[in-house]
Amino acid sequence: MADLIKPHGSDHLMQLLLEGDARQVELARAETLRKVTISSRETGDLIMLGIGGFTPLTGFMDKADWEGVCTDMKLSSGVFWPIPITLSADADVAEAITDGEEVALVTADGEVMATMRVDEKYAIDRDFECANVFRTTDGEHPGVKMVMDQKAVNLGGPVKVLSEGIFPVEFAGLYQRPAESRAEFAKRGWKTISALQLRNPMHRSHEYLAKIAIEVGDGLYIHQLVGGLKPGDIPADVRVKCIEALVDNYFIKDRVVQGGYPLDMRYAGPREGLLHGVFRQNFGCTHMIIGRDHAGVGNYYGPFDAQNIWNEIPAGALEIQMLPIDWTFWCYKCGGMISMKTCPHGKEDRLFISGSALRKALSEGEEIPAEFSRPEVLAILREYYAGLGDKDRK
């Protein structure tokens, strides 16, 4: 794998997941430690720390790293990092923990996920974090709400990860560690690999972006989020079926690898696009596709803010490169998918395609134009929506 891109900020993956005898010993020790309950978002972050997806991080951020990331997108070491990776606890729980104490991190249902040495405790300035990271403090923004719902005190320190949660079983064959995706790319002899971020089923615009990437590189990594989403988003198992149907029928399989990663979506727009680049480099990708409204929600970000911020970061901050794609749509006069850079026709000839528009049309039982998505994909989505009650459609 010597020809693959290096992990971010390191010569090797920082894999904090214990296995075998070491894991069993640490699990037994965890039973003797104080328990700290962690959220869904923190669980996903912890698993990414475990599998090396968040290389070069070795745990949850201390105050200096948190402040540096919020203000300048830099760790105290100087390494680029765009979004805080933090763990919070109630004030009374944090007060009881002594400096340097080791604690067990557990999910709400009691699964021991990791042990952690608490090196620092610090109060959270939620408005400061949200204003910098999300560009808003509006509680209607789902990512802002996550931060506002955090507990009062952040705990910083290194972790030893003991579990990957539900993901290896529930998403067997899709969920991947960075070491596994890198091994697959090396086996195929790929050197230039583009990552396609997905939290929606692939519609024709996604397909168009994907095929552009394949044309200019060795292969495509369709890397979809299998962690938590906001209400109304289509669940991961349905998306997996849609993508498999599309790849099976409309792609050369030797040019595509599918993978899943365990994070909850933050909807942080530009900053999240940069985080997507960071961990896709750790998974072995050389390019990150950034299209319209990448990782956005509502009207909080401009359609190409995620491309603009990528062009504003210091040279050398990331080794992975952005593959920017303009606004794409179906043009009836051109007779296919096309972009603003190449289509000379007017709005009256164009059908604009987006995941939110597709979800809205499906939930309201509207007729979907054939140009919007492939028939195999639409069949799966119609079946899913037909099984929902009126409340769940919204």
The pLDDT of residue 55:
98
Q: Which of 374, 273, 289 is nearest to 323 (CA)?
A: 289
Considering 110, 139, 167, which residue would you say is the last residue of a domain? 167
Q: Which domain holds residue 321?
A: 173-386
Q: Which of 167, 192, 222 is the last residue of a domain?
A: 167
User: Strand, coil or helix: what is 15?
Assistant: coil
Amino acid at 250: Y
Contact 136, 300 (CB under 8 A): yes
What residues contact 2, with CB distance under 8 A and at least 6 apart?
A: none
Residues 232 and 98 in one domain: no
CB 337 within 8 A of CB 204: yes
How far does Cα 344 stand from its chain's mean position? 35
Burial class (CB in 10 A: 0-12, 13-18, 19+), 109: exposed
Residue 382 designated active-site:
no
For residues 388 and 46, what is the distance between their CA atoms, to the nearest angstrom? 32
d(C-alpha 189, C-alpha 4), whole Å: 10
- Looking at the structure, tell me whether residues 212 and 304 fall in a common domain: yes
Q: Which tokens belong to 93?
A: 């729980």
Residue (of 75, 84, 60) closest to 160 by Cα position: 60
SS (H, E, C) 256-296: EEEEEECCCCCCCCHHHHHHHHHHHHHCCCCEEEECCCCCC
**Residues 41, 199, 204, 271: which is the catalytic one?**
199
Same domain? For 281 and 363 the reply is yes
The residue annotated as part of the active site, out of 41, 177, 182, 200, is 200
Instruction: Specify the CATH number for the domain of residue 122.
Output: 3.10.400.10
Q: What is the CATH number of the domain that holds 193?
A: 3.40.50.620
Q: Which run of H or of E encompasses 248?
A: helix 236-250
Structure letter (DSSP) for residue 209: H
- The residue from 143, 167, 191 where one domain ends is 167
pTM (whole model) above 0.85: yes
- Statement to judge: residues 318 and 254 lie in one domain: yes
Identify the DSSP state of 10: S
What total of structural domains would you count in the chain? 2
Residue 106 shares a structural domain with residue 50:
yes
pLDDT confidence of residue 389: 62
| Active-site residue flag, 200 | yes
Q: What is the pLDDT of residue 2?
A: 66
CA atoms in the 13 A half-sphere facing the CB of 91: 3
pLDDT in tens, the chain (394 residues): 668 999 999 999 999 999 999 999 999 999 999 999 999 999 999 999 999 999 999 999 999 999 999 999 999 999 999 999 999 999 999 999 999 999 999 999 999 999 999 999 999 899 999 999 999 999 999 999 999 999 999 999 999 999 999 999 999 999 999 999 999 999 999 999 999 998 777 788 889 999 999 999 999 999 999 888 777 778 888 888 898 999 999 999 899 999 999 999 999 999 999 999 999 999 999 999 999 889 999 999 999 999 999 999 999 999 999 999 988 999 999 999 999 999 999 999 999 877 777 777 888 888 888 888 899 999 998 898 888 865 454 5
Q: Are residues 278 and 339 in the same domain?
A: yes
Omega before 303 cis (within 30°)? no
How many whole angstroms separate alpha carbon 174 and alpha carbon 194? Answer: 17
Pair 162, 179 in one domain: no
Both 58 and 30 in one domain: the answer is: yes
The helix (run of H) or strand (run of E) holding residue 198 is strand 193-198
Task: Tell me, yes or no, whether 250 lies in a domain.
Answer: yes
Report how far residue 340's alpha carbon sits from residue 326's, in angstroms, rounded to the nearest whole number: 6
